[in-house]
Chain A
Amino acid sequence: MIPSGDYIRILPEIVLSIFGMLVMVIDPLLGENDDRKSIGVVSAIGALLALGATFIMAGHPGEAFYNILRVDDFAVFFHVVVILIALACILMSFEYLKVQEIRQGEYYGLILFGTVGMCLMSSAIELVMLFVAIEISSISTYILAGFRRRAAESAESSLKYFLLGSFATAFFLYGIALMYGATGSTNVDAIAAALRQGTPVMAYLAIALMMVGLGFKVAAAPFQVWTPDVYEGAPAPVVALMSTGPKAAAFAVLLRVLFGTAAPGWFWAVWIAAALSMTIGNFGALVQTNVKRMLAYSSIAHAGYLLVAFIAVRNMEQGVSAAMFYTAAYAAMNVGAFAVVSHFASAGEKYVSIEDYAGLGRRSPVLAAVLTVFLLSLIGIPITGGFFAKFYVFRAAVSSNLIWLTVIGLVNSAIGSYYYLRLLVMMYMKEPQSEESVPSVPFAAGFAMAGCVVATLYLGVFPNRVLQFAIESARTLVH
């Protein structure tokens, strides 16, 4: 018999799955010409309920289902982040799907099911469960990337994402198989216990292969090549989701695997990946003319900053909590930026080049102001979440004596501010190219943008509560 408490520990996942199926049932019941917004509303309600379920879940920490997963503060943190991301993406899709004439039923279903996978990624402590969760999240994003059926780029984006993604998963699996061979277990705690006894050589190769796989998922260099193409071709709200949700979950997995299993010998690998990601991301972004591609390179750079926190662990709580804080701040500002991009893109994603943003400050002051907040946060200007995110990461790096990496990071932040500022200059200093009025922001998308602005500013003004929670979560990570 499985104790009923175990079901509470997967309550958010249960709620999300039920609503995913509900969406699929409602879709065919609606007539051909009915307004399908109701499906979106149902999925938004589902995400909200899942958020509530997460708080119930938080009250029942512990292992569930024969040590398959563990609910701790760490898992709760990432559940909240991932579900909020999904909610924002659902809200910004209402108008987008109608404008782009995309079929809606399966779209929302896939977002909800994908979120199930991402949630489980943050709480799984058994590699089998981890693998199934990663696959759910990946497969649903592969499909979502191909949803702009009229655009050839979308199908291509989906194909590239799928091929490289499943190649990466295969590496990850080979790593898991070797880890099982090295330690005789697929449970994170048991692996940690075995590795503390002594480290077989095979464990090093296993960790290396697992990191290759996860490196692809978080788009860290040198495994970032797919990112710009996939982000350019995929629908904008989907990019908002896949540049934050699966990434946050993959970082959670990386934290669990590297720290939870007391894995050996990854310091220099992460060091190089962090330095490369920051540099390639920022320099790549400098030359882009497409906003989605620019944000894709920017997301590579941010993955680099985040990886700095992974090795800044002389004081483990400081490093891990900095990484978690960064994930949350990055999610808020990046989802927000893509919310603006997806609204502004219009039918067929016409307006996605940087020139199109010329004069946006005059054409639509509110939209421009909102985007400004996110761009300033991405640069890392004070009173935005991006500032404290970078501050905590580099503070942890300095106190771990990672001076060179800190220097590389700060130089990169300076370079990075150039391309964000270029977009700002374009919006406020340049004459508009067309006098065509920007459609006003619909309620749902506006709500998503407002939520992201509030989250970005909240993290920038009152970072302490979230940071404290992250520090406590970091303590629960190692057993």
Chain B
Amino acid sequence: MAEITTLHYLVVAAALFLTGVIGVLTRRNVIIILMSIELILNAVNLNLVAFSRLYNLHGQVFAIFIIADAAAEAAIALGILIAFFRNKETVNMDEVDLLKW
């Protein structure tokens, strides 16, 4: 069986990245869009950790910062969605129409 190289990990990351981008561009549900963004962040982390093997540990440290930031963003997302929901009673982007999209 073929040997697994760093390249294989990078391909998995690229697949996650593309899936995330498709999700953001095609789904209308805000929560699913947010999860797609999380997918992209995970792809970034996988890239960093895979490259970190080739060079130094800085990639892994970077990944930890990204995880911390993802937590902060999730907290903000909660707040913004609640504020938004109170006004509009929906989480569908199609109904986000007060300001023309």
Let me know if chains A and B touch directly in the complex, using CB atoms closer than 8 Å.
yes
Nearest residue (CB) in A for B25 is: A167
Question: In the complex, are the beta carbons of A128 and B30 less than 8 A apart?
Answer: no
User: Is the interface on chain A under 10, 10 to 19, 20 to 34, or 35 or more residues?
Assistant: 35 or more
Question: In the complex, are the beta carbons of A143 and B76 less than 8 A apart?
Answer: yes
Chain A contact surface mostly: helix
| Residues in B neighbouring A143, C-beta threshold 8 A | 76, 79-80
- B77 located at the interface, meaning its Cβ lies under 8 Å from any Cβ of chain A in the complex: yes
- A177 located at the interface, meaning its Cβ lies under 8 Å from any Cβ of chain B in the complex: yes
Question: In the complex, are the beta carbons of B88 and A135 less than 8 A apart?
Answer: no
User: Which of B48, B50, B79 neighbours the largest number of chain A CB atoms within 10 Å of its CB?
Assistant: B48
Q: Which of B27-42 contact A (CB under 8 A)?
A: 30, 33-34, 37, 40-41
User: Is the interface on chain B under 10, 10 to 19, 20 to 34, or 35 or more residues?
Assistant: 35 or more
- B58 located at the interface, meaning its Cβ lies under 8 Å from any Cβ of chain A in the complex: yes
| Residues in B neighbouring A283, C-beta threshold 8 A | none
Question: In the complex, are the beta carbons of B58 and A185 less than 8 A apart?
Answer: yes
How near does chain A come to B65, taking the closest CB pair, in angstroms?
Answer: 6
Task: Given the known inter-chain contacts A162-B77, A186-B62, please indicate yes or no for A173 contacting B84, CB distance below 8 A.
Answer: no
How many Å lie between the Cα of A170 and that of B19 in the bound state?
13
Question: In the complex, are the beta carbons of B47 and A155 less than 8 A apart?
Answer: no
Question: In the complex, are the beta carbons of A180 and B20 less than 8 A apart?
Answer: no
| Residues in A neighbouring B96, C-beta threshold 8 A | 156, 159-160
- B26 located at the interface, meaning its Cβ lies under 8 Å from any Cβ of chain A in the complex: no
How many Å lie between the Cα of A120 and that of B88 in the bound state?
37
| Residues in A neighbouring B100, C-beta threshold 8 A | 229
How near does chain A come to B85, taking the closest CB pair, in angstroms?
Answer: 9
How many Å lie between the Cα of A185 and that of B99 in the bound state?
42
Question: In the complex, are the beta carbons of B17 and A174 less than 8 A apart?
Answer: yes
Question: In the complex, are the beta carbons of B51 and A170 less than 8 A apart?
Answer: no
| Pairs of residues from A and B, 5 with the lowest C-beta to C-beta distance, nearest first | A177-B47, A229-B99, A170-B40, A184-B55, A152-B87
Q: Which B residues contact A (CB, under 8 angstroms)?
A: 10, 17, 20, 24, 30, 33-34, 37, 40-41, 43-44, 47-48, 50-51, 54-56, 58-59, 61-62, 65-66, 69, 72-73, 76-77, 79-81, 83-84, 86-88, 96, 98-101
